[in-house]
């Protein structure tokens, strides 16, 4: 049967449901990944399910987010995660081995497999032909226990690439062009699948940059073919046995097609404060810059850092700024050292940071007050850098390097001839920082090590048919999970302590939210379009649930956050008539009749004396999970 790459993979993995756009399907999950900021909670949830060993083909636990150790909290979490991996049969990538998405691409990703990860940029593995999706930690825990992962069968958008990128233009500019075309909302329930002769001009690291930042469009995932380019990459990693050819058939039918001629793309930049606010660098002009940051899971591959080293060779960064680089993996660093590129970066004045996510989530390297930071990262949400009034621009490694030299936002084509680089035929392979799973017999002897900051999971009760309370906050469009549950060096270490981290819910939007939630015994959140965009962090649902949030009522939801709300027993509802958003104010007393959640719901605004119709996209199973109080009590019953 003819088909797209997406259709071929999903046919092999659908356990239940109809392969029709919008219908719920249950997928068998081959692999999972977690990182430490979300992983601690995911493994507490896995323990609560009561399964003795992970049931996936393999699962990997990474430490790459909370590596800044200002006290015992992060170190305790790392120790907990390593003992969990040994006890339950996971691979464990130690701190310093690298960023989860880069390391997974190098050492684990398999074409044609399904992968979910407790990080929204898990689709990075789509660059190698893996059907990879971000998910909340509880969904990952359930998949490790052997449960299927449920999604709405997607619409498949074919992105037809023709031509070839010109000098000084790279893969980051491609995905910025995609974001310019489709923006950050309106793509829920879609898969972006790349095809066409232009695909053959892109390496696996190029493709991974595109699929990584495809997350910012709000789509389910992005995917490239597995072809001869994929084989070359896997062979260089000593993993040619994992190769599988996987391409769309010539007569494959897409629900929608977007045409992009690579040869017409120019250096692009996303302006503060949205990855979708994209213009050509030449349009924006020479903005004075205070900081340049290169790395993150989007642009920290060997290809990216070698080109930066070439550009900075025998040059010194501008006096008015400072530059830092976060390499993607230890493998990348070893190659930079071996090839002499590392010293080029150091001599140019670059600060080389740990192989970790840090700066991308405000864990170090926060910009100065009111400053401009040009970054190769994937998000520039307000305050995400660790500095609320900083202005963050997103660019390619080439544009970042040119900006570092000139001191102002610079089109890299102004530098003259484009330097050439070569990638190794065989990468340095050293997996000594990856702890392999123990045998079942050895694993049962392992004791789980818990620090004092790791608190037990809160318990949640079944939901009643009628919800009543006050509107605690009313927010606008494109509220991100960073707005709801901030990251940063102060807050991230509390991820395994729900009572403490809940004190920071909506801190950047309304510093009094925690107090209002406690005084009112919970209540409701009202929002606009694309509520919950961004990170997969389930704490943006779990902490509000702990504070007594009963329902979130908005114009539309981002996919992962919607799933997380269901998982933790917060009812996600939308206005049948979006203009009714104007008929509710903060402080209003409301009653919401949800019944069995099998049909429409009604909101009665007691304060204003009006009735508002609400709707939802819940499947019967979603309704059952919600009414049970969330996915954890529901899944425990299934396994019992």
Least confident residue range of 94-108, 309-323, 427-441, 475-489: 475-489
Choice among 36, 76, 77, 119 that is catalytic: 119
Q: Which two tokens stand for residue 498?
A: 């729900």
Distance between start and end Cα atoms, the chain: 39
Catalytic residue from among 379, 384, 539, 616: 379
The question of whether 537 is a catalytic residue gets the answer yes
The Cα angle at residue 15 between residues 221 and 635, in degrees rounded to 5: 85
> Which tens digit of pLDDT belongs to each residue from 140-163?
999 999 999 999 999 999 999 999
Crossing angle for the helix pair 171-182 and 204-213, to the nearest 10 degrees: 30
Where does the pLDDT of residue 636 fall: very low under 50, low under 70, confident under 90, or very high at 90 and above?
confident
CA angle at residue 249 from 243 to 255, to 5 degrees?
115
Of the residues 64, 76, 242, 290, which is catalytic?
64
User: Would residue 443 count as lying in a domain?
Assistant: no
Q: What is the CATH number of the domain that holds 554?
A: 3.20.19.10
| pLDDT value at residue 2 | 72
Q: Based on the fold, state whether residues 504 and 587 are members of the same structural domain.
A: yes
pLDDT at 536 exceeding the cut of 90 = no
- Across the chain, how many H-helices and E-strands are there? 21, 27
The answer to whether residue 603 is domain-embedded is: yes
Q: Looking at the structure, do residues 481 and 494 belong to the same domain, yes or no?
A: yes
Is residue 114 within 8 A of residue 455, CB to CB? The reply is no
In this structure, how many other beta carbons lie within 10 angstroms of the beta carbon of residue 600? 14
Model pLDDT for residues 248-283, shown as the tens digit of each residue: 999 999 999 999 999 999 999 999 999 999 999 999
Split into its structural domains, the chain has a count of 3
Residues 89-99: what's their mean pLDDT?
A: 97
Residues 238 and 162 in one domain: yes
530 in the same domain as 615: yes
- Domain boundary among the residues 388, 411, 434 is at 411
Whether 90 maps to a domain, the answer reads yes
Q: Are residues 398 and 495 in the same domain?
A: no
In the chain, how long is the greatest CA-to-CA distance? 72
Query: Is 292 found in the same domain as 214?
Result: no
Q: Do 505 and 473 belong together in one domain?
A: yes
Q: Specify whether 535 is catalytic.
A: yes
Percent share of the chain, pLDDT over 70: 100
Is position 582 within any domain?
A: yes
Q: Which residue matches tokens 């249950």?
A: 26
Put simply, whether the predicted model's pTM sits higher than 0.75 gets the answer: yes
Whether the pLDDT of residue 311 is over 90: the answer is: yes
Which of 264, 280, 297 is the endpoint of a domain?
264
Residues 300, 535, 536, 556: which is the catalytic one? 535
CB atoms within 10 A of CB 181: 14
Q: Count the neighbouring beta carbons within 10 Å of the beta carbon of residue 519.
A: 11
Task: Note if 300 is an active site residue.
Answer: no
In a domain, 455, yes or no: no
DSSP H or E run through 394? strand 391-394
User: Is residue 418 pLDDT above 80, yes or no?
Assistant: yes
Is 249 designated active site? no
Question: What does the pLDDT average to over 430-451?
Answer: 96
Instruction: Say if residue 315's pLDDT is above 80.
Output: yes
How far is Cα 237 from Cα 244, in angstroms, rounded to an integer?
Answer: 15
- Residue 387: is its pLDDT beyond 80? yes
Residue 498 CA to its chain's centroid (Å):
21
- Using the 3D structure, point to which of 411, 428, 443 is the last residue of a domain: 411
Are 274 and 256 found together in one domain? no
CB 21 within 8 A of CB 255: yes
Residue 304 sits in the same domain as residue 388? yes
Structural tokens at position 69:
């150790």
487: confidence class by pLDDT, cuts 50, 70, 90: confident
Is residue 208 assigned to a domain? yes
Question: Which listed residue (13, 61, 65, 341) is catalytic?
Answer: 65
- Tell me which residue range forms the domain holding 305: 268-411
SS3 content of the chain, % helix, strand, coil (to 5): 35, 20, 45
Supply the mean pLDDT for the chain. 95
Catalytic residue list contains 76: no
pLDDT of residue 10: 98
Q: What CATH number does the domain containing 349 carry? A: 3.30.499.10
CA separation for the pair 582, 553 (Å, rounded): 12
Do 223 and 247 share a domain, yes or no?
Answer: yes
**359 pLDDT higher than 90:** no
Same domain, 199 and 304: no
> Does any domain span residue 604?
yes
Sheet order of strands, 149-152 included? 14-16, 24-27, 149-152
Distance CA 640, CA 628 (A): 15
Q: Is residue 457 part of a domain?
A: no
DSSP structure string for 5-57: HHHHHHHHHEEES--STTSEEEE---EEEEEHHHHHHHHHHHHHHT-SS--SS
Residues 66 and 205 in one domain: yes
Q: Is 11 considered catalytic here? A: no
Q: What is the reported pLDDT for 639? A: 75
- Choose, from 335, 483, 537, 616, the residue flagged as catalytic: 537
Residue bearing tokens 């049970």: 628
């Amino acid at each position: 049967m003819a088909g797209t790459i997406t259709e071929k993979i999903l046919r092999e993995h659908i356990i239940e449901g109809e392969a029709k756009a919008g219908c719920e399907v249950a997928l068998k999950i081959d692999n999972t990944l977690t990182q430490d900021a979300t992983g601690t909670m995911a493994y507490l949830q896995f323990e609560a399910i009561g399964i003795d060993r992970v049931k996936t083909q393999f699962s990997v636990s990474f430490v790459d987010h909370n590596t800044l150790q200002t006290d015992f909290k992060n170190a305790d979490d790392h120790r907990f995660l390593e003992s969990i991996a040994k006890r339950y049969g996971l691979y464990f990538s130690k701190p310093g081995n690298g960023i989860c998405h880069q390391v997974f691409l190098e050492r684990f990703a398999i074409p044609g497999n399904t992968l979910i990860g407790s990080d929204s940029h898990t689709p990075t593995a789509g660059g190698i032909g893996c059907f990879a999706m971000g998910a909340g930690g509880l969904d990952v825990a359930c998949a490790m226990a052997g449960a299927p992962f449920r999604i709405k069968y997607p619409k498949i958008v074919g992105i037809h690439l023709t031509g070839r990128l010109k000098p000084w233009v790279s893969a980051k500019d491609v995905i910025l062009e995609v974001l310019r075309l489709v923006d950050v909302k309106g793509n829920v329930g879609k898969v972006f699948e790349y095809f066409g002769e232009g695909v053959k001009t892109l390496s696996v690291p190029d493709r991974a940059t595109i699929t990584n930042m495809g997350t910012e469009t709000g789509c389910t995932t992005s995917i490239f073919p597995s072809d001869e380019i994929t084989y070359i990459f896997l062979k260089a990693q000593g993993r040619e046995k994992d190769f599988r050819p996987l391409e769309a058939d010539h007569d494959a039918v897409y629900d929608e097609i977007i045409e992009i001629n690579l040869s017409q793309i120019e250096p692009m930049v996303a302006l503060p404060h949205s990855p979708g606010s994209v213009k050509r660098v030449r349009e924006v002009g020479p903005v004075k810059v205070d900081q340049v940051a290169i790395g993150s899971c989007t642009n920290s591959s060997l290809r990216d850092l070698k080109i930066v080293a070439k550009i900075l060779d025998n040059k010194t960064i501008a006096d008015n700024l400072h530059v830092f680089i976060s390499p993607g993996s230890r493998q990348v660093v070893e190659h930079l050292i071996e090839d002499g590129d590392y010293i080029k970066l150091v001599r140019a004045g670059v600060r080389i940071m740990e192989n970790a996510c840090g700066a991308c989530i405000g864990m170090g390297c926060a910009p100065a007050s009111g400053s401009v930071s040009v970054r190769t990262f994937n998000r520039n949400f307000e305050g995400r850098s660790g500095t609320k009034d900083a202005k963050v621009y997103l660019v390619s490694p080439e544009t970042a390097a040119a900006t570092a030299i000139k001191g102002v936002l610079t089109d890299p084509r102004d530098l003259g001839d484009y330097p050439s680089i070569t990638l190794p035929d065989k990468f340095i392979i050293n997996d000594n920082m990856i702890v392999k799973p123990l045998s079942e017999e050895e694993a049962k002897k392992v004791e789980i090590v818990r620090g004092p900051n790791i608190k037990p999971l809160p318990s949640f009760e079944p939901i009643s048919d009628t919800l009543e309370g006050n509107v605690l906050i009313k927010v606008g469009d494109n509220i991100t999970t960073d707005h709801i549950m901030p990251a940063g060096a102060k807050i991230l270490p509390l991820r395994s302590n729900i009572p403490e981290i809940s004190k920071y819910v909506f801190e950047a939007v309304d510093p009094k939210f925690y107090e209002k939630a406690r005084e009112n015994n919970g209540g409701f959140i009202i929002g606009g379009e694309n509520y919950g965009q961004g990170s997969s962090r389930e704490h943006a649902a779990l902490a509000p649930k702990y504070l007594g949030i009963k329902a979130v009522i908005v114009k539309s939801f981002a996919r992962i956050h919607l799933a997380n709300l269901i998982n933790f027993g917060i009812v996600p509802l939308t206005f049948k008539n979006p203009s009714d958003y104007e008929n509710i104010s903060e402080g209003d007393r409301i009653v919401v009749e949800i019944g069995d959640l099998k049909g429409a719901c009604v909101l009665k605004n007691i304060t204003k004396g009006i009735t508002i119709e609400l709707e939802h996209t819940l499947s019967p199973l979603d309704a059952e999970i919600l009414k049970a109080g969330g996915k954890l009590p529901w899944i425990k019953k299934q396994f019992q």
